[in-house]
Amino acid sequence: MLAADPDWWRGAVIYQIYPRSFQDSNGDGIGDLAGITGRLDHIASLGADAIWISPFFTSPMKDFGYDVSDYCDVDPMFGTLADFDALVARAHDLGLRVMIDLVLSHTADAHPWFAQSRKDRTNPKADWYVWADPKPDGTPPNNWLSVFGGSAWEWDGRREQYYLHNFLTSQPDLNLHHEPVQEALLDVARFWLKRGVDGFRLDTINFYFADKYLRDNPSLPKELRNNSIAPSVNPYNHQLHLFDKNQPENLEFLRKFRAVLNPYNAAAVGEVGDAQRGLEIMAEYTSGGDKVQMCYPFEMLQPTRLTAPLLVEIFDRMRAAAPDAWPCWSYSNHDTVRHITRWHLSTEAAKTYATLLVCLRGSLCLYQGEELGLPEADLSLDELQDPYGIQFWPEFKGRDGARTPMVWVTDNASGGFSSGKPWLPVKPPHLPLAVATQDRDRTSILAHYRRALAFRRAHPVLRTGAMEDIAAVGGVTSFQRRGGETLLCAFNLGDSAAVFGLPEGTWTTIGTDLGSQTATGGSVTLDPWGVYLAKRA
């Protein structure tokens, strides 16, 4: 039985599971809940504190579960509610908390709520979605764009109005300005909390409300378009998204959501989909202790590699926005190119970034396969399933390259994921990185992740302590973690050796099994991708 700790989330390591691709238990080529249950020992052995399961709800699967048609049931391809209950019980037995992915900004167009809403303008759910009249010339009510390309408005002939969809046209946006919608969504959270979940990952948390006056977004200067939540070929990058998301009304809804969480000691981590103000929005949503506990912004999910100066900039901006804000850092997830490929990392560089991650102030999300050092899979157009990639091929290849199945063994073509044909192919470069192979190798990335997570657990200051004196000199970043003890952490994020001068005091090297180097006198010469970890005497 897990302890009833309201602060379990603070500094926790959360392992993300993409259920279609984790483990198939019945041979249909699609991962399922029973498969996850059978592989939880791997996650427990890694040293994670919790799992986050991407959507498994009833869905037409046009966006692979992020288009929900029933929030309170399991899609048959993933199993049953009984399978989910068994998963929760097994996870708790292993000391793992369970978080599930709630998609509250929109539903599938197959959801009964939308089926009723679109019938006419006077039915009981007429106001449950964002509907708007056309302009006098019949065009959409404003200039808002979809993250998946094109207008964010779709015409519906039954109501002779447009409905808002920030993503696919089959994903109509809910109208959270309407109180009954908020209550229905809070009831969804209560349903799963009563089933034993420990928290939620909140998809697109800053998209819940749109401007009630439907004002046009201003344009975004060209020089600012490089950092975006959408690929460069997408016109979504041409706007500063002032009015289609990030609205102030969201704060009060998040307070209501937190009030639902508190009696269960449950926690939520929100996905902040905004490239310009992600850190500031995260600070708004997590500060004060009355909204969500954590958010993860996109700063470490960007194409640009995390460098020493960039790390300093991120923490300076966060501290200025709200000192008590709580981030949840992630290098990879199901929507981004895996960071091994995105940042062109060698094995040694990948290990250094893993060590850096566990030393940061905040909670952490690890994406399945990250602990194996999986690169992005290279898929052909005929292998793609993702509508986003198909839309913008070949300049943008979509998200499927990060969603291919986990590799467990090397003695079959699907890596032990399924006895049938996987829904996405397992590519040959992934097979040598299988869990079974790395389990036997103390020099493997998997072994390094296990040591890194054990190091974080052994030093509680890394989970809850202050992070101070953050600095960047050349390619070296350094900081101190202060609380019950004081740790010094320095990382050479480059291919050339660098000298790091120690701060005043007596420092004892720790973390030697993570490659921590030894200081001589008042400095340490860090090898390329070298690490120095020390404790103040």
Q: Which active-site residues does the annotation give?
A: 203, 271
Hey, CA dihedral for 276, 278, 280, 285, is it positive or negative? positive
CA pair distance 358, 349, nearest whole angstrom? 15
Nearest residue to 87 (alpha-carbon basis) of 14, 21, 17: 17
DSSP β-bridge partners for residue 145: 151
How far is residue 100 CA from its own chain's centroid?
12
Hey, CA dihedral for 315, 320, 323, 326, is it positive or negative? negative
DSSP β-bridge partners for residue 520: 523
Two tokens, residue 239: 């706007």
Two tokens, residue 349: 């560089």
CA pair distance 497, 512, nearest whole angstrom? 18
**Which distant-in-sequence residues (6+ apart) come within 8 Å of 380 by Cβ?**
none
CA pair distance 298, 279, nearest whole angstrom? 8
SS3 247: coil
Cite the DSSP H helix spans in 343-441.
347-359, 387-392, 435-439
For residues 106 and 166, the answer to whether their CB atoms sit within 8 Å is yes
Q: Residue 389: how many CB atoms within 10 A of its CB?
A: 19
**Which distant-in-sequence residues (6+ apart) come within 8 Å of 381 by Cβ?**
390, 393, 394
For residues 270 and 295, the answer to whether their CB atoms sit within 8 Å is yes
CA pair distance 155, 43, nearest whole angstrom? 45
Give the H or E element holding residue 448.
helix 445-458
CA pair distance 420, 38, nearest whole angstrom? 17
DSSP state of 102: E
Distances (CA, A) of 478 to 77, 466, 475: 47, 14, 10
Burial of residue 59, with CB atoms counted within 10 A of its CB: 0-12 exposed, 13-18 middle, 19 or more buried: buried
